[in-house]
Amino acid sequence: MASRSVNKVILVGNLGKDAETRFTPTGVARTTFPVATSRRWKDQQTGEWREETEWHNVVLWRQENVANYLTKGRQVYVEGRLQTRSWDDQDGNKRYMTEIVADQVILLGGRGDFPPDESAGQPVSMPRNAQRQQTGREPESSGPALDQGITDDDVPF
């Protein structure tokens, strides 16, 4: 038997609150945000529609500029992996937390913050002047002939 395993999560849901970015002591950005997913079904015994919401904690590493775009209520696509970590609380009890460590986050439609043709399913790009303000240097370019305004380096995800 082959030794294979898969740890992959795909979520499409709504942000429960604005994303928060904090930095580790070594300066690595850690952005966290909760995502709500819901399912709806008809109860076979009562005939009533029921709904259940599940909350997921998402962690996105090394993307300090995305918190401005990840605001409460926005619909997002999140792709990543499950990770469970443990620690001892003040009373010595073992605590566990399972999070989704995101590899990819894409803003979808949702709250009407952008016209539909600009946001539906498209990653949000950061303006070049905002990138210069955050990094303190000019963004790298492939040369004047190939520079068409937005590059892969401009996408904050």
Encode pLDDT of 47-81 as tens digits: 899 999 999 999 999 887 788 888 898 999 999 99
Domains of the chain from N-terminus onward:
9-124 (2.40.50.140)
pLDDT confidence of residue 127: 39
Q: Which amino acid is at 134?
A: Q
Amino acid at 10: I
Determine whether 78 is exposed, middle or buried from the number of CB atoms within 10 Å of its CB (0-12, 13-18, 19+). Answer: buried
Which tokens in the block code for residue 119? 């946001």
Position 123 scores a pLDDT of 46
DSSP string, 32-86: EEEEEEEEEEE-TTT--EEEEEEEEEEEEES-TTSTTT--TT-EEEEEEEEEEEE
Of 74, 73, 78, 84, nearest to 58 by C-alpha is: 78
Instruction: Tell me the per-residue pLDDT of 125-145, one tens digit each, with 9 for 90 and over.
Output: 333 344 444 445 444 443 444
